[in-house]
A and B are shown apart, each in its own frame.
Chain A
Amino acid sequence: DAKTTQPPSMDCAEGRAANLPCNHSTISGNEYVYWYRQIHSQGPQYIIHGLKNNETNEMASLIITEDRKSSTLILPHATLRDTAVYYCIVRVNTGNQFYFGTGTSLTVIP
């Protein structure tokens, strides 16, 4: 699976959009981009995933660049409860295992 690079930490003001970047320059054509978050040592929570098209659900939007070498997770209106470590993962759709990197620690500031 391709490796990902994320900034170690970010701050975001409450109510503003949080944009979390992820670089996956070695991604292969059959690898999906997944985002999970982990709040204070709870189990990771699934957020969203995509292959090449932008995706949106009730939690977030995922923007994948045309060359698929990077992506951005957007939390449209961050709340204090969004403070967590966010993991960007790329994985091929044949091996049922995720390789988590170090993630981005997002702090939402009141």
Chain B
Amino acid sequence: KAGVTQTPRYLIKTRGQQVTLSCSPISGHRSVSWYQQTPGQGLQFLFEYFSETQRNKGNFPGRFSGRQFSNSRSEMNVSTLELGDSALYLCASSGDYAWETQYFGPGTRLLVL
């Protein structure tokens, strides 16, 4: 079974721009969660989508948003990029139930200049 895939793997943007990252979950998984990882803050939960609806949300500003499509693929968008948004963005997929194990993708490394 193919794992979680994320595109693009690397991205360079400038302050003020916006960016869209994509995540394709493991086949059959309907939950997709997004995380941000930085050296200073570690791994932090952004939000989770299930069946095209946001089910859980972390403590990030509204510039961070996401959506999920009917095939469970998910995108996250960051608007008005700031230097501090430079990070590794990870997505994880799991089955229908909250107790099921999450499997992570390789991440998208975003650099904001």
Does B8 have its Cβ within 8 Å of any Cβ on chain A?
A: no
In this complex, which of A32, A34, A94, A95 has the most chain B Cβ atoms within 10 angstroms of its Cβ?
A95
Across the interface, B107 reaches (CB within 8 A) one of A42, A93, A96, namely A42
Residue contact B56 to A98, C-beta cutoff 8 Å? no
Q: How far is the CB of A21 from chain B (nearest CB, A)?
A: 19
Contact size range, A: 20 to 34
Q: Known interface pairs A42-B106, A42-B107. Does A98 touch B45 (Cβ–Cβ under 8 Å)?
A: yes
Main SS class of interface, A: loop
- B39: nearest chain-A partner, CB-CB: A41
Across the interface, B58 reaches (CB within 8 A) one of A36, A49, A93, A97, namely A97
A32–B109 Cα gap in the complex (Å)?
30
Q: How far is the CB of A32 from chain B (nearest CB, A)?
A: 7
A98–B4 Cα gap in the complex (Å)?
17
A93–B99 Cα gap in the complex (Å)?
4
Q: How far is the CB of B56 from chain A (nearest CB, A)?
A: 5
Does B74 have its Cβ within 8 Å of any Cβ on chain A?
A: no
A41–B110 Cα gap in the complex (Å)?
13
A36–B103 Cα gap in the complex (Å)?
10
Residue contact A43 to B105, C-beta cutoff 8 Å? yes
Taking CB atoms and an 8 Å cut-off, the chain B residues in 91-113 that contact chain A are 92, 94, 97-99, 101-107, 109
Taking CB atoms and an 8 Å cut-off, the chain A residues in 67-93 that contact chain B are 87, 93
Does A8 have its Cβ within 8 Å of any Cβ on chain B?
A: no
Q: How far is the CB of B68 from chain A (nearest CB, A)?
A: 13
Residue contact A43 to B98, C-beta cutoff 8 Å? no
Residue contact A95 to B101, C-beta cutoff 8 Å? no
Residues on A facing B (Cβ under 8 Å): 32, 34, 36, 41-46, 49, 87, 93-102
Q: List 6 A-B contacts (CB under 8 A).
A: A43-B90, A87-B43, A96-B94, A97-B48, A97-B58, A98-B102
